[in-house]
Structure 1
Amino acid sequence: MTATGLVPSAVSGYECSSTRIHSRPWDAARERAHAAAAPLPPVLLPLAEAAGAVLAEPLVAEGDLPPVDRSAMDGYAVRGPGPWTVLGAVGAGAPAPAGLLEGEARAVVTGSAIPAATDAVLPDEDAVRTGDRLTGAVAPGRHVRRAGEECAAREELVPAGAVVRAAVLGLAAALGEDVLRVNPQPRVAALVTGDELVGCGRPGPGRVRDAIGPMLPGLVAQAGGHAETVVGLPDERAALVTALAGTDADLLLVSGSSAAGPADHLRAALAELGAELLVDGVACRPGHPQSLARLRDGRLVVGLPGNPLAALAAFLTLAGPVLAGLRGAPLPALVAAPVPGGLARHATSTRLVPVRVRHGGVETVGHGGAAMLRGAAVADALAVVDPGPAAAIAARLLPLDPGANPWAG
């Protein structure tokens, strides 16, 4: 440690020691980030564009589904126990013909409307037909989808706040919907600072390959946002102020300037822009020099450390909850898992440790230093190890894919 209380960093020049940042407890920081993000104004989106958004209002059936009795099999709509006389066929998409009388049948296909008074559908594979005479064994109601069987008119099917997944889109289409009212995916811009960073190839002496910029778009997408731009900036306060003021996005990510070293200008830039600092450091390792601020126009800024794993941990701690809040989604709950053999605790900070999820618990993968991504690249989650004196025999799981739960099943 230097005389100023700063710790040298391989990527961003310096990271701030815990004595220079007023660190907020990890859980409190995560909750603060989620609470700071009000849901974006709802919009109407075509079904083809709504995947991944969050429903701003419940999905409600405008009518019965199905609207009429339909066949669930290719075969024959029949009335009575048989044998039956086949009157003809009901084509796909055709309206239901007149009702059947006892001993009558009509050929049907899966999904076609069936005649009134149909008792059952006799599947093709169970039918024996000779001319117009049909025989076979059926049970009353078998293979018939009755009107309103899936839902009735005005029934709420999917609540507001649910993520629009593929099945939701299919259900909306089946109901006859063309658009959904949703909270849109937040637009995210990333500013990657550092005079020493290079964007391609192997770095030369004194240079460092940017590992954070290529990582952020994927993290943003997994958290339900839309990554618009990733821009590299020099270690200059004026350049950072200009970029923050001129970037049109719902959330701004700034990496490499979040500490308090001579090359870290984020705090000064935010002060110049009149921003409100909501989180100034988080008591976690790696990733404690992270921050959250609100600009005067309401946009949020998350400061990420310059070391890659620290930046990843900070994204999951602050940016993931912000994106959930902007989308109108709840803060994801973290599932606890046993840790065979235990995990060492830090006395005052939450440890975030790359782990694999295995039957019966989790196992560490190593390579969990702030500058390392090797462990995270093969891990399923970061184990959240609360501070304390004794080894932890259980830990909560922070998925490395913010949209997944590696412990489910």
Structure 2
Amino acid sequence: MNLKDLPVEEARARMLAAVTPGALETVALDRHAEGRVLAEPIRAVRDQPPFDASAMDGYALQPGDVAASFAVVGESAAGRPFSQGVGAGEAVRIFTGAEVPPGCAVVIQERATREGERVRFEGPPPLERTNVRPRAGDFAAGDVLLPAGVRLDAWRLALAASAGRAEAQVYPQPRVAIISTGEEIVRAGTVDIQPAQIFDSNGPSLATLTASWGGRPIRLEPARDDEDAILAAIQGVEAELIVTVGGASVGDYDLVKPALKRLGLELLVETIRLRPGKPTWFGRLADGRFVLGLPGNPASGLVAAELFLRPLLAVWQGGDPTLRMEHARLTRPMRESGPREHWMRAKLESAADGSVQVTPFSDQDSSLVSVFAAADALLRRPTHAPAAEAGDVVEVIRLGRL
């Protein structure tokens, strides 16, 4: 089986076919649920609101009642409803969120003049349902409020809680161990850095991306270009996926794959027809852990993370691994592309007519962290794409910028 120079789609398909979601977990919605993917639908156990509720502070009375003044016969507050009927010429003081007596409408308090136990109103009598939120106006008992497969955020958690749910079944969060390799790599903050060394930018960024995509990142210390050092760094790490950064090519110091073959590495993808990111690879160790090998150049690694790590984490969590492609119009011409699918860092903006425009950065060198920090999208150029003119439509994916 050919594992080298695979098209991007084929490489991604091979990776995704190898992984499956883990055992389901039950979590409390108010503790460990944010960012988790639902493994079951959330259904409403009762109507919301569970009664006709007042939308305003005011008075409840029968619609169309034209009495000159009304006897105030009681009060309905949130949690303390008025339990009797309301007849002609009668009104009930009511507050926002309180249960509306049967058949009543609500007149806002700004139209009311209270005189002891009587009240009169300015303006026409209320119509049926005026200022009333109807029972089940938000949702009804039995409605599916959240389908399986959605990721829980604060707003969806509010919806689940309003349905009375205190916990839910979710997919597990995959543990992702991240290790940068190379004699020159040191952690940011190292005081005694040498002139020939560089700070590790890939580790923090990949850990942050992993967490934002629902995984549980495990930062490992950088490993030297030494097989024994690489093995020692990952030997006992408990993780579903190990992400290695650097050492992915075919140079004398690219020792990650040779080292991992000592742990029974089975390659499923060896190289990809991708720019930047051709050396990206994927495999499985004898103990069942998967390994995603990313190039050391920051742009190469982050492009590959968007194209492969993000979909892998989605599958592990029972989510949708499909890339969120959009269309945008080029602001400047582009040359024809080569034999590798090219993903270019780019900037999006809205045109006067409301359409989305995209400008690729002129310098796409894969070592430039500053360009990636300024980009908010990746522009896809298929293999052997013809030259494009300003105004042509191209495919982009948005980066998750704040």
TM-score by length of 1: 0.87
3-state SS in 2 of match to 1:117: coil
Counterpart in 1 of 2:344? Answer: 353
Note if 1:296 corresponds to 2:279: no
Note if 1:141 corresponds to 2:132: no
Counterpart in 1 of 2:160? Answer: 172
Counterpart Cα distance in 2 of 1:275 and 1:105: 79
| Kept after mapping to 2: 8 A contact 1:33/1:319 | no
3-state SS in 1 of match to 2:157: helix
Counterpart Cα distance in 2 of 1:375 and 1:142: 57
Counterpart Cα distance in 2 of 1:67 and 1:256: 58
Counterpart of 1:106 in structure 2: which amino acid?
Answer: V
Counterpart in 2 of 1:36? Answer: 18
Counterpart Cα distance in 2 of 1:275 and 1:281: 15
Counterpart in 1 of 2:353? Answer: none
1:71 to 26, 51, 54: 54
Counterpart Cα distance in 2 of 1:146 and 1:133: 25
Counterpart in 2 of 1:193? Answer: 181
1:390 to 368, 386, 390: 386
| Residues 184 and 95 of structure 1: CA distance in aligned 2, closer, same or farther (over 3 Å) | farther
| Residues 364 and 201 of structure 1: CA distance in aligned 2, closer, same or farther (over 3 Å) | farther
| Kept after mapping to 2: 8 A contact 1:241/1:269 | yes
Counterpart Cα distance in 2 of 1:213 and 1:342: 35
After TM superposition, give the deviation of residue 73 of structure 1 in Å.
1.5
Counterpart Cα distance in 2 of 1:133 and 1:386: 74
| Kept after mapping to 2: 8 A contact 1:41/1:183 | yes
| Kept after mapping to 2: 8 A contact 1:72/1:111 | yes
Counterpart in 2 of 1:6? Answer: none
Deviations 1:2-54 (A, max 9, x none): xxxxxxxxxxxxxxxxxx98121122223333333312322111112211111
2:115 to 121, 124, 130: 130
Counterpart Cα distance in 2 of 1:221 and 1:96: 50
Counterpart Cα distance in 2 of 1:294 and 1:96: 67
Counterpart of 2:153 in structure 1: which amino acid?
Answer: R
Counterpart in 2 of 1:183? Answer: 171
Counterpart Cα distance in 1 of 2:265 and 2:61: 73
Counterpart of 1:395 in structure 2: which amino acid?
Answer: V
Deviations 1:272-330 (A, max 9, x none): 22233222111111111011112334332111101111111111121111111111111
Note if 1:23 corresponds to 2:23: no
- Considering Cα pairs closer than 8 Å and 6+ residues apart, tell me whether 1 or 2 has the greater RCO: 1
Counterpart Cα distance in 2 of 1:169 and 1:101: 41
Counterpart Cα distance in 2 of 1:94 and 1:296: 64
Counterpart in 2 of 1:271? Answer: 261
Deviations 1:96-143 (A, max 9, x none): 52232233221222212222232x121222333333223244221122
3-state SS in 2 of match to 1:358: strand
1:98 to 80, 84, 89: 84
Note if 1:211 corresponds to 2:201: yes
TM-score by length of 2: 0.88
Counterpart of 2:342 in structure 1: which amino acid?
Answer: R
Counterpart Cα distance in 1 of 2:347 and 2:191: 30
Deviations 1:50-92 (A, max 9, x none): 1111111111111111112211222222213234322121222
Counterpart in 1 of 2:375? Answer: 379
Counterpart Cα distance in 2 of 1:278 and 1:46: 37
| Kept after mapping to 1: 8 A contact 2:174/2:241 | yes
2:101 to 115, 125, 137: 115
3-state SS in 1 of match to 2:325: coil
Counterpart of 1:109 in structure 2: which amino acid?
Answer: F
Counterpart in 2 of 1:366? Answer: 362
| Kept after mapping to 2: 8 A contact 1:345/1:351 | no
Counterpart Cα distance in 2 of 1:203 and 1:381: 33
1:209-248 alignment, distance < 5 Å:
209-248=199-238
| Residues 72 and 379 of structure 1: CA distance in aligned 2, closer, same or farther (over 3 Å) | same
3-state SS in 1 of match to 2:211: helix
5+ unaligned residues in a row in structure 2: which ranges? 351-355
Counterpart of 2:114 in structure 1: which amino acid?
Answer: R
2:246 to 256, 263, 276: 256
Q: Alpha carbon RMSD of aligned pairs, Å? A: 2.2
Note if 1:150 corresponds to 2:141: no
Moved over 4 A (4+): none
Counterpart Cα distance in 2 of 1:226 and 1:105: 58
5+ unaligned residues in a row in structure 1: which ranges? 1-19
